[in-house]
Structure 1
């Protein structure tokens, strides 16, 4: 299915393009992000990169490269971070590296990248972008006609000089299987599909109401707009060379949509435009186990035509197509009494025994499937062995895994590479088992002393999972893997549960096309007295006071968050906060509280996305934005209150290492002369004996002790200097 050389030039000539446009087409580049910067496919991705995991017995990266071949890309650059060496070796041995490949392919090793933003900044530093380029994820399955997308992009570029990005979005029905994961709302100009606003909305399974709040200024000069939450974001973009440069200028931009696109649309300084190309064709990303299952079913069901399994994408494949969407390669050995149901694919040299039933499943190569086995809605990868009388329903069994006789895998199980499960075992629903222990995916360098750093290293090297004898049996081998959710908020935990579920429970989904409302005004109760006023009827006014403070907290956090995301200067952020404080008549305590919450959430974002280590994230955020506190605290009691807020909010945020966060925040504020020793000592004397915060205060206790010792040494040295001076006199 690979495209032919020279096709782009010929098509350009037929469309009457100028020589300059033809030359630009001939240089069309594609950037492939091989890493999703997520841990949703753990524990499998601890062994193998996600882009090399098979979907319908074809590595995911092959579907992306096939699309780029039909798009007539001339140069493809694969940005590799996780398992970069494996990807590089795969590409070197693939058909894409042969002299007759439709494009030149190269890998860019970027092991330090922890987000899309890092990858784009690395590209900008290397200076490899020569013009408009395709930005695509290495896990996209699509049959989109690129010519139409590219023509739309060029048309908008010619019309709008500020156009820098075209997003490809696919329309989906209300209950489309791949739509319910990470939904988003797009506000588009109805005249030309220019994107006016972007916002993630609650997941289909959260049952939270969806509402959009948009600045009316963004809708100025727009005659008519539409709000769309029925679009699948397949992450196929056509970008101008300005995109990497903007990432470079805004270090806080990490995510492509929620940071970059949203930041571009809301920025008054950049004044750049993003357009949406909406297609009816199949286009989706393998973002989770659930989308892996959904896209596999679509692909086997030929919804991606002409991209089909019997097109034999891989050079050594020999699939033939039979009625009922059944695909078989050569040298498959089937027992006479086995039953192969609809929507099933079987790889070469696989043997299936007597009485076995397989339906809606994909079986890899060289698999040994025993007798009287039932496999439904599942994916068995290469070289797996399944013992007699086993039952597998809606599961994944990875390469070289061995299941004994009479083994039952309940809905949603993921059996990793080289796992062995003993006879007569039942694995509960949603269990993930790895063949080797999995280390934490959040290594951090704290820069502490030798004793403390050794403790930190031990914590960082902790194993996510334990030897699962109760799951794999005494003769089995496997470790139970559980996501490290300690630093995730409630929504992230819910998202992880959905991502870990292979099933598509559409009856539970609440993603209605009518579920979004636009909010243009918001009513708020006004307080008639100041915070220091005495109330004659305390109970009557208490609820109003609480609601007012709660409203301010939401608005205040949003104000600080917006300042960070758009990289406002401190004076602008302070002016907005102070205006909000006076309009809602709250105290500086509420302002400090909202600011601390916003800064800690930003720290959490950096850590959760593995963009920065814990200490580095705190130093970056509080080093720049902690200066806000100079205009929020004015006397010793208020600075002590600030430290109290920091300790309380750090404890509540759910960090994996809250003691390191609190210590780093206090130390950064101390280094920036916002806190001094005397205030720290006064605060510490009041809180050091409180057992409720022992976990949060561990490193702070050592730090305060160190401060006091350094202070004493400094005092002694100054005394000695005075004595020496007096003796000399």
Structure 2
């Protein structure tokens, strides 16, 4: 019998919709406070005098993307609307998503997920300065292929084949391109690897640069919603790798070929570098003269770009471009440059005057600035309306905010930025400032640098304390087994608790978010979190009175339930493996809580009676501790410890209750 004609027909391929691009317009980094007055939205910061977001949207036009979601915090909604007006005709759909109160990429993703705006796979551009010379067709195809083979291949990170200034290190399976090892949040150039990783053909790569671009499935947005402490895509990556056996998800890496270029800026050092790379046309066909639909730039020899306004050229002496003093420079409209000024690898804003014999290299200078004669400016970021006096030598890696009248005698203070006025420390709570002459010098409270995000791979910085002011002596740290990162975490938690305690609006959600952020920054384990959260709680001066401590435990019960207890409702929606993992984790956390009580007793034996009452209260009334955890911990206390005898009464009481229940059952 002849088979029907339909039997020979090929099954039609399932139509694959183009990826939706989610572009985060904000940076959420207080490092860029000096630019906030002119460019409160990081995506509008100028690269070669062109808003950075223009470059991102220009290369997106060359990809398959037809639908763009521009995501912005509520404070910067007007800037996003302005971008939408300029670029909406370049795409089929161009939507602005305003996230009120957002303070991180994680907040934005949670808002998008809660509104159910993500219906399929998407491209996440978490940094608005991301630029790439490729159409990404090969990388998108590979992402789709992996998704078809296994839906649990939920993310592909895009990297450029170029050594990173921060010396980022990754572990990647050489055969599958699966990401196996990823650095901790506070140490970009270190990995925790085992022998097994090397047997599994894991390549350790130090020659890759992040691009700020990731191809994601909808499950990535779900990960943000399930974890309120996640602030960026890196947190999701660490979560997937650390819980590979539970979540079953995989992250892969796509590396661009050496002929393709990609980069993004995340601090001032990388911002200057991106500016130079763009001037040198490394991202062709993405070039300054083609990236702003509302302005005209002319490209001249030696990578000199002039913004023109009608027939008016932006420098008085057009012959200046022919001499050897100019190379790799972008000049804004009506810029007044002395013929004998020396400028290399720099960007000069509109209406800025630069006087005779001044040398400017590898710098970005804003609009309406006046630079005096014989000045030297190297590796500097200078805002708008700044005045530099004659003969001033600006120290390398200087950051000068808007409107500053730069004092010639100003001392060079490392890791700072210069402002005209004192900063608003409520808006920029991570910064502090002090007046020096007619300017204000600002720095990070934790002692970290302004110019670059990391130093030797380290991204978490803490102020060094004097020995006399330190709460722990070296011997106490050794006795307690408290490392630097753990102590830092403990101190940050104590500070957060004290702040919440003194606040009228003591929302536990905010405290939990702060603790989880400190956990990520300090790279501590969950056991260390559980131990130090309760250790910090006991150290609050408010809790010296036991009755007040009990009242605060009741008031802060959501905090303790979050770290030490699992609700029956949350267990219902988990699989059997997830339930076992969750219950075992909370059991370990409860034991760590009890070990914190034991630590306090070891330092102060007068705490013994209160310790006994506290354990009883946490079990009987607060319902934070379980019987099994108490018995297991009590059994581990050293025989010679007085605490052993004090806890014996509670253990005997618990076991008596068990015996009575068993007899009743019989």
Normalized against structure 1, the TM-score is what? 0.60
How far apart, in 2, do the equivalents of 1:113 and 1:104 lie? 23
| Displacement after TM superposition at 1:191 (Å) | 1.7
Work out whether 1:481 is the aligned partner of 2:416: no
Instruction: Tell me which of 290, 304, 307 is aligned to 2:286.
Output: 307
Match of 2:232 in 1: 255
Paired position in structure 1 for 2:277: 298
| TM alignment of 1:688-727, pairs within 5 A | none
Write the distance in 2 (CA, Å) between the matches of 1:465 and 1:61. Answer: 30
Q: How does 1:124-163 map to 2 (within 5 A)?
A: 124-136=113-125, 137-163=127-153
Structure 2 match to 1:282: 261
Distance in 1 (alpha carbons) for counterparts of 2:274 and 2:400 = 20
Q: Which runs of 5+ in 2 are unaligned?
A: 1-9, 459-475, 490-525, 538-552, 566-586, 608-616, 626-666
2:323 is the alignment partner of 1:332 = no
Distance 1:442 1:597 in 2: 29
The answer for the alignment partner of 2:211 in structure 1 is 234
| Alpha-carbon distance in 2 for matches of 1:367, 1:669 | 69
- 2:29 is aligned with 1:38: yes
- Contact preservation (8 Å) 1:379, 1:396: yes
From 60, 65, 72, the equivalent of 1:73 is 65
1:598–1:263: structure 2 CA closer, same or farther, 3 Å change rule?
farther
Aligned position for 1:687? none
Work out whether residues 433 and 441 of structure 2, in 8 Å CA contact, stay in contact via their aligned partners in 1. yes
Alpha-carbon deviation of 1:371? 2.7
Q: Residue in 2 aligned with 1:715?
A: none
Aligned to 2:55: 63
Deviation at 1:596, TM superposition (A): 2.7
Matched with 1:96 is 87
| Residue deviations 1:542-593 (CA, integer Å, cap 9, x gap) | xxx99897499999999xxxxxxxxxxxxxxxxxxxxxxxxxxxxxxxx998
Hey, what does 1:213 align to over in structure 2? 193
The 5 Å alignment of 1:579-590 reads: none
Partner Cα separation in structure 2 for residue 407 and residue 91 of structure 1: 38
Give the 3-state SS of the residue equivalent to 2:343 in structure 1: strand
SS of the equivalent of 1:287 reads coil
Deviations 1:60-108 (A, max 9, x none): 1112111221113122112212742342343244x213xx322422221
2:173 — aligned with what? 189
Matches of 1:403 and 1:669, distance apart in 2: 66
Superposed CA offset, 1:580-612 (max 9, x none): xxxxxxxxxxx998743377899xxxxxxxxxx
| d(CA) in 2 for partners of 1:188, 1:88 | 37
Structure 2 CA distance for partners of 1:160 and 1:669, relative to 1, 3 Å: same
Q: Report the 3-state secondary structure (helix = DSSP H, G, I; strand = E; otherwise coil) of the residue aligned with 2:32.
A: coil
Contact 2:477 2:483 survives alignment (8 Å)? no
Query: Could you tell me how far apart the structure 2 residues matched to 1:349 and 1:669 are?
Result: 74
Match in the other structure for 2:541:
none
Q: After superposition, where does 1:403-442 map in structure 2 within 5 Å? A: 403-421=388-406, 424-426=408-410, 428=412, 431-440=416-425
- Give 2:108's aligned residue: 119
Q: Give CA-to-partner distance per residue, 1:233-253, whole Å, 9 cap, x none.
A: 212111111211222223343
Paired position in structure 2 for 1:400: 385
C-alpha distance 429-630 of structure 1, shift in aligned 2 (>3 A): closer
Task: Tell me the residue number matched to 1:466.
Answer: 434
SS at match of 2:36: helix
CA contact 1:556–1:595 (8 Å) conserved in 2: no
Query: Using the alignment, how far apart are the partners of 2:84 and 2:557 within structure 1?
Result: 41
Q: Which runs of 5+ in 1 are unaligned?
A: 1-15, 174-178, 444-459, 473-477, 486-492, 502-507, 512-544, 559-590, 603-614, 648-666, 676-729
Q: How does 1:497-646 map to 2 (within 5 A)?
A: 499=452, 550=481, 595-597=530-532, 622-626=560-564, 631=591, 638=598, 641=601
Distance 1:86 1:17 in 2: 48
- How many Å apart are 1:186 and its aligned residue? 2.5
| 3-state SS in 2 of match to 1:72 | coil
**CA shift for structure 1 position 497:** 5.3
User: Once the two structures are superposed, what CA deviation does each residue of 1:448-502 show, in whole Å capped at 9, x if it has no partner?
Assistant: xxxxxxxxxxxx7x98323432xx5xxxxx43222222xxxxxxx45x356179x
Query: Would the aligned equivalents of 1:189 and 1:226 in 2 still touch at CA under 8 Å?
Result: yes
2:291 & 2:76 partners in 1: Cα distance? 23
1:378 equivalenced with 2:369 (yes/no): no
C-alpha displacement of 1:622: 4.0
Alpha-carbon deviations, 1:359-406, whole Å to 9, x = none? 221112222222332222221122222233333222122122233433
Distance 1:340 1:314, change over 3 A: farther
Q: How does 1:438-449 map to 2 (within 5 A)?
A: 438-440=423-425
Q: Secondary structure at the match of 1:361?
A: strand
Distance 1:229 1:329, change over 3 A: same
Q: Match of 2:333, SS?
A: coil
Change (3 A) 1:463 1:499: closer
Q: CA deviation at 1:30?
A: 0.9
- Structure 1 pair 283–642 and aligned structure 2 pair: CA distance change class (3 A): farther
Contact persistence 2:181–2:192 (CA under 8 A):
no
Give how far 1:319 is off. 2.5
Paired residue secondary structure (2:113): helix
Residue 277 of structure 1: CA displacement? 0.9
Cα offset for 1:643? 10
1:49 aligns with 41
2:15 counterpart of 1:21: yes
Structure 2 CA distance for partners of 1:468 and 1:275, relative to 1, 3 Å: same
